[in-house]
């Protein structure tokens, strides 16, 4: 089985099935398609499937022309999971959120695997890319797959290879970001490395799926903890009347031993605010309290409240109350230059300010209409930034610093700017840093 599958991968005759066609799965599909593999995409959203099959894209930074090219190369999207029988490789790129108790929610992974089980066959490779706690592949996927009578490592192959997408980053692509891969058995690892080596410049094999799962968590916890540190430093510096951004720029001139991280209004995206809690949950099984990770999470979670307090103070200095004030939020995505608003601290700020009685509006060139969200509800559209519009607001909150904003123009026409991103370096009467 192994040699047959390796031969199919080498000759690009293997059919690649990608389950979950979102921010991770769609770029991966494009990469496999670009090098000549036949790709079947699976998603539970009929709207997305129809859009892709018509050669269009629903992710802003992915061009419709790229989807059309993949379609011309044989790519097809479907909601019919029985088509998985045709695939030699099944790559799972589904969400792994937290539930309301901040515990791992593996329902998307488990439901996907259960849906695929009747269509698994000898000679396939299953790869999980969704971020999760160490042990998920061994404890959740392996027994389910083997319950079908398939022996992992002989009949079918199982790996964990965490996604490393960075939407909006022009310096890295799916091809150039090194890919970590861990296998359930040595044979599984061999097949997994062969698969990803066909489309990724550098594949990094590790000794087990647990190691690969922990690697992804360390990467994101590293960022979360350092962002928590610099957010705390920002609060201290603010009390001392010191510009934290000037401090960071100065510290970054040290050519060794320092990596610059930048503060913000809180954490956003589907990884950094969520992934650390996957490890804290699993660590309890071993009697370990992850105090360092949880402290960073506490600091980062409190940043929206701190920003709101800065807005309250800035308005108060101008003899204005938050209640009844008109506040314009610039940028509602979690990260600049992308359209992804998952876990965006900007949206949390909008909620908190509205709860205090402020009248909220927003401007974001990447989000023309406020999206339908499960937990946040605003009936708003992005407004055009004109001199008259800007001057009509009591406060402009710079929450996400998209490059498409005209910052000198915004500064010249706003009564008050609360800057969460350090975009304005020079002091000004109408700028308050938060």
CATH code (residue 308): 3.40.50.720
Instruction: Answer yes or no: are the C-beta atoms of 18 and 87 closer than 8 Å.
Output: no
Q: Which of 259-273, 319-333, 406-420 has the lowest mean pLDDT?
A: 259-273
Q: Helix axis angle, 303-317 relative to 291-301, nearest 10°? A: 30
Q: How confident is the model at residue 272, as a pLDDT?
A: 76
Q: How confident is the model at residue 373, as a pLDDT?
A: 73
379: in domain: yes
The verdict on 308 and 294 lying in the same domain is no
> For 148-166, what is each residue's pLDDT tens digit?
999 999 999 999 999 998 8
410: in domain: yes
> For 114-145, what is each residue's pLDDT tens digit?
999 999 999 999 999 999 999 999 999 999 99
- Our count of domains for the chain comes to 3
The verdict on 109 and 125 lying in the same domain is yes
259: in domain: yes
The verdict on 266 and 334 lying in the same domain is no
The residue from 93, 188, 271, 395 that is catalytic is: 271
10: in domain: yes
Bridge pairing between strands 38-42 and 203-206: unpaired
**Domain finish residue from 299, 328, 356:** 299
The verdict on 200 and 282 lying in the same domain is no
Q: pLDDT at residue 290 above 80?
A: yes
Q: pLDDT at residue 417 above 90?
A: yes
Buried b (16+ CB within 10 A) or exposed e, 231-253: bbbbeebbeeeeebbeebeeeee
**Domain finish residue from 161, 179, 206:** 206
Q: How confident is the model at residue 392, as a pLDDT?
A: 97
Model confidence at 25, pLDDT cuts 50, 70, 90, reads: very high
271 classed as catalytic: yes
Please report, rounded to a whole number, the percentage of residues in the chain having pLDDT higher than 70: 100
14: in domain: yes
The verdict on 149 and 17 lying in the same domain is yes
The verdict on 162 and 287 lying in the same domain is no
The verdict on 193 and 240 lying in the same domain is no
162: in domain: yes
| Half-sphere exposure in the Cβ direction for 255 (13 Å, CA) | 0
The verdict on 18 and 66 lying in the same domain is yes
Model confidence at 271, pLDDT cuts 50, 70, 90, reads: confident
212: in domain: no
CATH code (residue 225): 1.10.1040.10
Domain that holds residue 6: 2-206
Q: pLDDT at residue 100 above 80?
A: no
Q: How confident is the model at residue 98, as a pLDDT?
A: 85
Q: How confident is the model at residue 91, as a pLDDT?
A: 98
The verdict on 252 and 350 lying in the same domain is no
Burial of 3 by CB count in 10 Å (0-12 exposed, 13-18 middle, 19+ buried)? exposed
The verdict on 274 and 357 lying in the same domain is no
Instruction: Answer yes or no: are the C-beta atoms of 35 and 199 closer than 8 Å.
Output: yes
**Domain finish residue from 180, 206, 232:** 206
Q: pLDDT at residue 381 above 90?
A: yes
pTM of the model: 0.91
Model confidence at 1, pLDDT cuts 50, 70, 90, reads: confident
211: in domain: no
Q: Which of 115-129, 186-200, 359-373 has the lowest mean pLDDT?
A: 359-373
The verdict on 171 and 49 lying in the same domain is yes
CA distances from 264 to 15, 227, 244, 276 (A): 43, 8, 11, 18
Q: How confident is the model at residue 371, as a pLDDT?
A: 85
Q: How confident is the model at residue 167, as a pLDDT?
A: 76
The verdict on 35 and 171 lying in the same domain is yes
Q: How confident is the model at residue 8, as a pLDDT?
A: 97
The better pLDDT of the pair 37, 278 is held by: 37
């Amino acid at each position: 089985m192994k040699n047959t599958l390796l031969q199919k991968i080498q000759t690009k005759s293997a059919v690649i099935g990608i389950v979950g066609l979102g921010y991770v799965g769609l770029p991966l599909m494009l990469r496999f398609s670009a090098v000549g593999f036949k790709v079947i995409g699976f998603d539970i959203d009929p709207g997305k499937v129809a859009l892709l099959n018509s050669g269009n894209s629903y992710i802003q930074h992915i061009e419709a022309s790229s989807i059309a090219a993949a379609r011309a190369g044989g790519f097809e999207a479907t909601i019919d999971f029985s088509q998985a029988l045709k695939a030699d490789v099944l790559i799972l790129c589904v969400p792994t959120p937290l539930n309301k108790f901040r515990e791992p929610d593996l329902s998307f992974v488990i439901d996907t695997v259960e849906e695929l089980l009747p269509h698994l066959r000898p000679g396939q490779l299953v790869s999980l890319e969704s971020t999760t706690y160490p042990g998920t592949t061994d404890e959740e996927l392996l027994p389910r797959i083997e319950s079908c009578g398939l022996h992992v490592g002989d009949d079918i192959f199982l790996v964990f290879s965490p996604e490393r997408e960075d939407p909006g980053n022009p310096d890295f692509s799916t091809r150039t970001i090194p890919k970590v891969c861990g296998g359930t058995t040595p044979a599984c690892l061999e097949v997994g490395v062969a698969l990803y080596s066909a489309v990724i410049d550098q594949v990094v094999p590790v000794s087990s799926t647990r190691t690969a799962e922990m690697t992804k968590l360390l990467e994101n916890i590293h960022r979360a903890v350092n962002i928590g540190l610099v957010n705390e430093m920002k609060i201290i510096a603010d009390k001392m009347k010191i510009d934290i951004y000037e401090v960071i720029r100065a510290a970054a001139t040290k050519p060794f031993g320092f990596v610059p991280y930048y503060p913000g209004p809180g954490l956003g995206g589907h990884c950094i605010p969520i992934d650390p809690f996957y490890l804290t949950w699993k660590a309890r099984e071993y009697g370990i309290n992850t105090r360092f990770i949880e402290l960073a999470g506490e600091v980062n979670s409190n940043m929206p409240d701190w920003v709101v307090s800065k807005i309250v103070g800035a308005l108060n200095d101008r003899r204005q109350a938050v209640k009844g004030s008109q506040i314009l939020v610039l940028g509602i995505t979690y990260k600049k230059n992308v359209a992804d608003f998952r876990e965006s601290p900007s949206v949390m700020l909008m909620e908190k300010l509205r709860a205090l009685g402020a009248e909220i509006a927003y401007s974001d060139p990447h989000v023309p209409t406020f999206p339908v969200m499960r937990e946040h509800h605003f009936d708003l559209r992005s407004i055009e930034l004109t001199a008259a519009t800007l001057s009509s607001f009591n406060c402009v909150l710079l929450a996400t610093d998209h490059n498409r904003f005209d910052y000198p123009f915004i500064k010249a026409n706003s009564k008050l700017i609360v800057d969460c991103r350090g975009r304005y370096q020079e002091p000004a009467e109408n700028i308050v840093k938060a």
